[in-house]
Structure 1
Amino acid sequence: MSHSVPPRSGPAGDPERVRTVRVPEDREGQRLDNFLLGQLKGAPRSLVYKLVRSGQVRVNGGRAKAERKLEAGDEVRIPPVRLGEAGDKAPPPKGLLAALEAAIVFEDARLLALNKPSGLASHGGSGISHGAIEALRALRPGQPLELVHRLDRDTSGLLVVAKKRSALTELQALMREDGGIAKRYLALLLGRMPDGTMSVDAPLHVGLRQGGERHVQVSPAGKPSLSHFRVLERRGGQSYCEVRIETGRTHQIRVHARHLGHPVAGDDKYGDPEANRRLREQAGLRRLFLHASTLEFALDGGKAPYLLNAPLAPELIEALDRLG
């Protein structure tokens, strides 16, 4: 794992002492924030960003940004952290652990895929004690589990976790490639979408509202973003769709759906409050109707194909049935 430089400071592994850690070869290319999360087990992501922003973390003696890609041999200064105060005091609830164990839809030596429930964050932080990754680590103590990607808290479906560093780096490289990973979602959009496939090629910009809440909008200043929407069937005047995305921007499907004039049903951030109220009454829909259903990719340079599926959540099936 990580190797500490001979003790110029406190002993390695003691989070309450300053330590300097040399980046090992198998962590080359890892972002600084993710490296720190691995070193400061149990520290919330918000604390890690605070330490980096304040200059308490140093790389080779200088300040660095959270997204900096580390190189083998870099020396990272890690400040003292009182994890007993900053991190989680209580383990994840047993009910959550049991639910996640039941939600594992695929596992092999390299990967674990979870059918994440709606309402569960991918990771802790920002006032959230336990996300999916913290709960999985509690479920599998001693296993080096790392999130490959994230899902919005309100979105259900496939969340992939790497059990080996090699799988993590290969999957993250595939995510940066056009078409490296095929992503398919299921969504209920408000209103009657036209037949055929509607593509939205609209750049997305992430802004912060007061209180630190992220808000995404279509803007020429944003990053290129491409989504494809296709109606599978119409239910109760709404459109049940397959969505394929070629980029993975924050809130991409939700903002692109609104841009089309057909917001995602149950979306309390980018949706239609009145239509959401009607759907609660008619169909019992009390959550965002967006589900990450399929991921397709290949590891080992294309030699090991994977096709992962997560079935639609029962409450979404029930809502569709009620819409007729």
Structure 2
Amino acid sequence: MPPVADQRPAVQFVTLGEDEAGQRLDNFLLARLKGVPKSHVYRLLRKGEVRVNKGRAKPDYRLQAGDEVRLPPVRRPEPGAPTGRGRSAGLELEGRILHEDTRLIVLDKPSGIAVHGGSGLSHGVIEALRAARPDAPYLELVHRLDRETSGCLLIAKRRSMLRALHELLREGRVEKRYLALVKGRWEAGQVRLEDRLRKTVRGGERVVTVDETGKTAASIFRPVEIGSAASLLEVRIMTGRTHQIRVQAAEAGHPLAGDERYGDRDYNRKMRELGLQRLFLHSASVGWEDPVSGEWKMYSAPLPEDLREVLSRLESHHG
């Protein structure tokens, strides 16, 4: 028999670049040692098997450019092996990339997949992409979309891009526009809605309510097409609160079509008869001034076929 190759992983030494500086050591390790249980990573730190510049370092140590990190040999699952479904989902998502460069991916997220795993889900968009790209050094969500919401989703390929976009988001300098179908005839024209929204749990389910103790949420609702049964709106959000558009639309008396949490049950039943199988909310475009070049960047995702068909049926029924 031929000798079996030694499969044991080797010690690695990683020198930090400017792009990776500033992050905590434990977060750096969790990103580098994908697939290794978090408890094991912290055990390696406690035992001193991870070294920074040949010395022990605490989990909250902030890495500096030029630091040399010793990564001990650890066995990891083969790339993509533990989540075959995640890998195949990732390959499907590759076909939905609207734009990619060295710093960023703009993805047209399909409805029905969460942006990250958890809550009983084995994988989400970010896990699926990592499984499809096992050699990618860095992939992180810039922001989130609800599981049922489709459209533009930003994924950073560099930590510096993540930091820059997070700063723009905090300052309200990222322009995010959605298309939403709401119940009834929208009579208000273009209007800016401001509410205070607070997360709470009701009946074991996480919900968002309008509450004076909550955080301010601001959106601009603009009608695109107005009908007697439903109105198509473009919504520009000025803040990024959980379920913001859904709660504000319901509060205004025009809940989103297909919204099982904040919507109108009878109306949703009628919309299902027209073929609507999910929440009618689509992240149509996202834009910002590029922090490096100063150019205005704008990316858009077309309205999915299933939602276009619903609009067509609405027109023929009520046109």
In structure 2, distance between residues paired with 1:38 and 1:149:
18
Residue 212 of structure 2 aligns to a residue whose secondary structure is: coil
Measure, in 2, the Cα distance between the counterparts of 1:122 and 1:93: 12
Q: 1:161 to 1:236 in 2, by over 3 A?
A: same
CA distance in 2, matches of 1:57, 1:268: 45
Distance 1:138 1:89, change over 3 A: closer
Give the 5 Å matches for 1:41-52.
41-42=34-35
Whole-Å separation in 2 of the counterparts to 1:184 and 1:246: 10
The aligned amino acid for 1:166 is S
Q: How many residues align?
A: 290
Cα distance in 1 for partners of 2:264, 2:45 equals 43
Give CA-to-partner distance per residue, 1:94-120, whole Å, 9 cap, x none: 652343122111112211111101110
What is the aligned-residue RMSD (CA, Å)? Answer: 3.7
Q: Deviations over 1:298-321 (max 9, x none)?
A: 223561321010011110000000
Q: Residue 237 of structure 1: CA displacement?
A: 1.6
Q: Distance in 2 between matches of 1:276 and 1:321?
A: 17
Larger radius of gyration: 2
Aligned to 1:3: none
The correspondence of residues 198-209 of structure 1 with structure 2, limited to 5 A, is 198-209=191-202
C-alpha displacement of 1:207 = 1.8
| Counterpart in the other structure of 1:169 | 163
Once residues 25 and 192 of structure 2 are traced to their aligned partners in structure 1, the CA distance between those partners, rounded to angstroms, is 35
Are 1:102 and 2:95 an aligned pair?
yes
Show CA shifts across 1:121-153 (max 9, x none): 001112111111111112222112111111111
Contact 2:25 / 2:63 at 8 angstroms: preserved in 1? no
Q: Output the amino acid matched with 2:300.
A: N
Q: TM-score, normalised by structure 2?
A: 0.77
Q: Which of the numbers 112, 136, 145 marks the counterpart of 2:105?
A: 112
Residue 126 of structure 2 aligns to a residue whose secondary structure is: helix
Q: What percent identity do the matched residue pairs reach?
A: 48
2:283 is matched with 292
Given candidates 254, 258, 267, the residue that maps to 2:250 is 258
CA distance in structure 2 between the partners assigned to 1:277 and 1:33 by the alignment: 48
Q: Which runs of 5+ in 1 are unaligned?
A: 1-10, 14-20, 75-80
1:12-51 maps to which residues of 2 (within 5 A)? 26-27=19-20, 37-42=30-35
Unpaired runs of 5+ in structure 2? 1-9, 47-56, 68-73
Determine the C-alpha separation between the residues in 2 that align with 1:105 and 1:261: 34
Identify if the C-alpha distance between structure 1 residues 263 and 131 changes in structure 2 by more than 3 Å, giving closer, same or farther. Answer: same
Q: Is 2:141 aligned against 1:147?
A: yes
Shift of 1:40: 4.8
Secondary structure of the residue aligned to 2:287 is strand
In the TM superposition, what is the alpha-carbon distance from 1:38 to its structure 2 partner?
Answer: 1.5
Distance 1:32 1:257 in 2: 43
- Pick one of 185, 188, 210 that aligns with 2:181: 188
Is the CA contact 1:236–1:323 (under 8 Å) kept in the aligned structure 2? Answer: no
Contact 1:235-1:320 within 8 A present in 2 as well = no
Distance 1:191 1:174, change over 3 A: same
| Equivalent residue letter for 2:247 | V
Secondary structure, aligned partner of 1:203: strand
1:272 to 264, 276, 280: 264
Of 269, 277, 295, 1:304 maps to 295
Sort the Cα spacing of 1:38 and 1:93 in 2 relative to 1 into closer, same or farther, 3 A: closer
SS of residue paired to 1:224: strand
